């Protein structure tokens, strides 16, 4: 068992776990997006955003990496669990602004369950700042063990600080709801229950938000499935379809040729959706195409969620399917979100150039997100 034990410094009631060497860690609203618990944010792959009661000073902190789920000590007042997937060979517990860090013995390519336990949060929150010669107020335990991904959950809630954090998370604008619904449906489709489970999966409109299209499907069927999606953009015109011919099976045209026509057909739909400010997204195709219309922001959220489960999302554009991007190239995920989001840019012309933009680094003098 791997174990770290001692005192660590927190600032703005925050400390982090980071495994992506090219990232500065998620902002608070990103880390907790779509969660029901508010102490350990795990919505962004490869990172954890840990909240403490104390605003500034040292807290007691223990990290354990175990081979299996440990028993829960009743002494801990507040307990939450999330899932975590390291994105590199090195994962660190990191203080605010990288002031100090400690490497954790976590393996890349392995899913972990994480339990974050707290004690003394209310007293520490009331004190706000702890000086070096003052007694320890709050203590935390962070445990990892190998386990398949599961939704976050609140195991125990005692303090008012934790209750406030959980409530804050649930009151945030739920921009990722449809993305989570798509993810739930994708996961349900892969379960042994099959189609029935897929139909019963969580969906905001009680209808499937994903079109599952066979690679041998005819073009009329593809059109009907996509048009039936609740996310289908109403402004998408289909007057061009009559000119899009597919050859009959004969001596010169094999089923493989027809698959090529289907892919070209989907790319044409993707191009026309793109011109309307919508992304036609494909979710890691296997023997079928898993397709959904999403906004650029939802596409980025969807990409992150799927990456956390070692899957991927691709945009479907005329003449190409976007190649899959490794986390060393994760800036590519910002390409979609950098396009068509400003209020004065309602649509994009097919083939328009996309400008890569770097996110400005936050000033250390600016206080980060924190619960008021």
What confidence tens digit (pLDDT) does each residue in 39-67 have?
A: 999 987 789 999 999 999 999 999 999 99
Least confident range of 72-76, 189-193, 225-229:
189-193
Q: What share of the chain is helix, strand, coil (3-state, %, to 5)?
A: 25, 25, 50
**Which pLDDT score is estimated for 185?**
58
Least confident range of 154-168, 199-213, 299-313, 338-352:
338-352
Q: What is the mean pLDDT of residues 303-328?
A: 65
Q: What is the mean pLDDT of residues 100-124?
A: 94
Question: Residue 117's closest CA among 163, 78, 70?
Answer: 78
Give the contacts of 240 (CB within 8 A, at least 6 positions apart). 268, 272
Bigger pLDDT: 66 vs 186? 66
**Is the per-residue pLDDT at 102 higher than 80?**
yes
Neighbours of 287 (CB within 10 A): 8
**Is the per-residue pLDDT at 29 higher than 60?**
yes
Mean pLDDT of the chain: 76
Q: What whole-number distance in Å separates Cα of residue 284 and Cα of residue 313? A: 6
Least confident range of 63-67, 141-145, 245-249:
245-249
Q: What whole-number distance in Å separates Cα of residue 93 and Cα of residue 3? A: 12
359-371 b/e (C-beta count within 10 Å ≥ 16 → b):
eeeeeeeeeeeee
Bigger pLDDT: 260 vs 212? 212
**Which pLDDT score is estimated for 226?**
92
Summarize pLDDT for 213-241 with one digit per residue, the tens.
888 788 888 999 999 887 888 899 888 88
Q: Is 328 helix (H, G, I), strand (E, B) or coil?
A: helix
**Is the per-residue pLDDT at 125 higher than 50?**
yes
Question: Residue 305's closest CA among 340, 321, 281?
Answer: 281
Q: What percent of the chain has pLDDT over 90?
A: 36
**Which pLDDT score is estimated for 52?**
98
Q: What is the pTM of this model?
A: 0.58
**Which pLDDT score is estimated for 15?**
96
Main-chain dihedrals φ then ψ at residue 165, nearest 5 degrees: -65, -45
Q: What is the mean pLDDT of residues 156-177?
A: 86
């Amino acid at each position: 068992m791997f174990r770290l034990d001692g005192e660590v410094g927190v600032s703005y009631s925050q400390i982090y776990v980071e495994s992506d060497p090219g990232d500065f860690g998620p902002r608070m609203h990103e880390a907790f997006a779509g969660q029901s618990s508010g102490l350990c944010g795990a919505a962004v792959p490869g990172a954890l955003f840990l909240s403490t009661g104390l605003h500034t000073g040292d807290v007691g902190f223990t990290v354990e990496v175990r081979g299996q789920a440990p028993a829960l000590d009743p002494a801990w007042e507040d307990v939450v669990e999330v899932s975590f997937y390291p994105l590199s060979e090195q994962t660190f517990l990191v203080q605010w602004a990288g002031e100090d860090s400690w490497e954790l013995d976590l393996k890349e390519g392995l899913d972990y369950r994480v339990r974050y336990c707290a004690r003394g949060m209310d007293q520490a929150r009331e004190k706000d700042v702890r000086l070096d010669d003052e007694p320890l107020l709050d203590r935390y335990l962070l445990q990892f063990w190998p386990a398949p991904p599961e939704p976050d959950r609140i195991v125990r809630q005692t303090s008012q600080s934790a209750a406030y954090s959980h409530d804050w998370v649930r009151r945030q604008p739920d921009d990722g709801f449809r993305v989570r619904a798509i993810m739930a449906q994708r996961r349900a489709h892969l379960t042994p229950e099959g189609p029935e489970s897929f139909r019963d999966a969580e969906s905001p409109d009680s209808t499937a938000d994903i079109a599952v299209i066979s690679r041998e499907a005819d073009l009329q069927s593809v059109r009907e499935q996509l048009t039936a999606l609740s996310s289908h953009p109403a402004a998408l015109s289909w007057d061009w379809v009559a000119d899009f011919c597919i050859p009959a099976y004969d001596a010169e045209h094999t089923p493989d040729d027809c698959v090529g026509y289907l892919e070209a057909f989907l790319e044409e739909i993707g191009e026309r959706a793109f011109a309307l400010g919508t992304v036609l997204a494909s979710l890691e195709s296997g023997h079928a195409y898993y397709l959904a219309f999403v906004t650029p922001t939802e596409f980025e959220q969807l990409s992150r969620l799927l990456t956390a489960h070692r899957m991927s999302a691709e945009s479907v554009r005329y003449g190409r399917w976007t190649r899959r991007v490794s986390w060393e190239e994760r800036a590519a995920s910002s390409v979609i979100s950098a396009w068509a989001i400003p209020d004065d840019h309602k649509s994009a012309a097919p083939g328009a150039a996309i400008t890569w933009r770097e996110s400005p680094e936050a000033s250390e003098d600016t206080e980060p997100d924190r619960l008021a």
